[in-house]
Amino acid sequence: MITGEIKNRVDQIWDAFWTGGITNSITILEQMTYLFFMKMLDDAQIKKRSNSKCI
């Protein structure tokens, strides 16, 4: 089970979608999955750039 800071952050994102008018749970999950995927890609690119600058 997810607890602590991660749960709070996910809840904040969920609330932002809900107050923005997106009330369908499946739509929210799809959008959150997309955002998490994009964040993972961004983090990987940043790591790759920092590793290439160290050489």
Question: Does position 25 have pLDDT exceeding 70, yes or no?
Answer: yes
Distance CA 42, CA 1 (A): 26
pLDDT at 44: 95
What is the model's pTM? 0.65
Q: What is the mean pLDDT of residues 26-55?
A: 89
Q: What is the mean pLDDT of residues 8-26?
A: 90
Measure the N-to-C terminal CA separation of the chain; round to a whole number of Å. 40
pLDDT at 14: 87
Q: How do the residues of the chain divide into helix, strand and coil, expressed in percent and rounded to 5?
A: 85, 0, 15
Question: Does position 55 have pLDDT exceeding 60, yes or no?
Answer: no
pLDDT at 32: 86
